[in-house]
Structure 1
């Protein structure tokens, strides 16, 4: 009931995750990323411990494939899980358990991996990978483009209701963490709209955290 991608920008070293599902609040329990380390999506009958575990393993120096092998060895009920990872060198790894739901499949390349379950067809993850690789600009723009391609390829077998996009870059917190936890409209387009608003302000929010004395004004009444 989910399709997603994890990705690394080869130019900036930023990591991102984008995900959508028919379930509510999918990004709250499935999307994980850590600056300088990697990004992980843990989905399909989700075990939220697997994302942090994979990131911890990559932070210790394991590659994405090595970390995924360790996750497979340690995790309970791994046959029900689907986990995607990308590491700081752009290496990718995917685990799709044989008890993943419905039509499930995966696709990967350098710097990007995609997977899904309960899909409309088995072409969706490859469309997402191709969409990311074919897009240009900020990693956020490329994540949105990739998810739109996945939706255009068929997406989930039924309507999606939630989506999210997380981006990390240098600092210890996500520089963008945008979510649509439930809508009867298109949650991917809701995230795209939020990104259009947030993207021009992203650097200012980081600067306010690091040193508000050097930050731009807030642009609200009473702010001078």
Structure 2
């Protein structure tokens, strides 16, 4: 009941993940990224521990493929899990357990990997990868374009209700973390796209505010002078 992608920007070194699901608050349980290390999606019958474990393994020097192999060997109930990982070089790997739900499949490209379950058809992840690879602009723009390509290819078998976008850059905290935890009508991916449209022009300034507030611009909110 989820489709997603993990990706790396070869120019900036940023990592990102975009994800959507019919379940509520999908990004709260399934989206993981660490600056300088990589990004992971842990989905299907979700075990959030897999996300942090994969990042720990990659931070310790494992490739994405080695981290996925370690999870397969050491974690319980992997037949029910779908895990996507991308490492600092852009190398990526995917585990899709045989008990993944409904139509499930995966696709990989340069600096990007996509997977999904309970899909409308088995071409959705390939469309997401192609959407990312052909898009231009900032990493967030490419992540949104990829998810829109997945929706255009059929998306999930039923309506999706939540979505998230997570990007890390150089700092320990997220460069951007945007979520739509539940929407009854409309598309949560479009809600995230709109949030990114508003947030993107200010993203660098929020980093500046953290590192040196004296150099940060004002945005005219009350008390912000």
Q: One fold, TM greater than 0.5?
A: yes
SS of 1:217's equivalent in the other structure is coil
Residue in structure 2 matched with residue 37 of structure 1 by the alignment: 37
TM-score, length-scaled by structure 1:
0.99
SS of 2:207's equivalent in the other structure is helix
Question: Within 5 Å, which residues of 2 pair with 1:52-131?
Answer: 52-131=52-131
Deviation at 1:48, TM superposition (A): 0.4
Residue in structure 1 matched with residue 224 of structure 2 by the alignment: 223
Deviation at 1:217, TM superposition (A): 1.4
Residue in structure 2 matched with residue 198 of structure 1 by the alignment: 199
What is the number of residues matched between the two proteins?
Answer: 224
SS of 1:142's equivalent in the other structure is helix
Greater alpha carbon shift after TM alignment, 213-222 vs 9-18: 213-222
SS of 2:33's equivalent in the other structure is strand
SS of 1:132's equivalent in the other structure is helix
SS of 1:83's equivalent in the other structure is strand
Residue in structure 2 matched with residue 153 of structure 1 by the alignment: 153
How far, CA to CA, are the matches of 1:104 and 1:217 in structure 2? 46
Deviation at 1:218, TM superposition (A): 3.4
How far, CA to CA, are the matches of 2:32 and 2:146 in structure 1? 18
User: Tell me, which stretches of 5 or more residues in structure 1 are unaligned?
Assistant: none
TM-score, length-scaled by structure 2:
0.98
Query: Displaced runs of 4+ in structure 1, greater than 6 A?
Result: none
Deviation at 1:223, TM superposition (A): 3.4
How far, CA to CA, are the matches of 2:222 and 2:174 in structure 1? 28
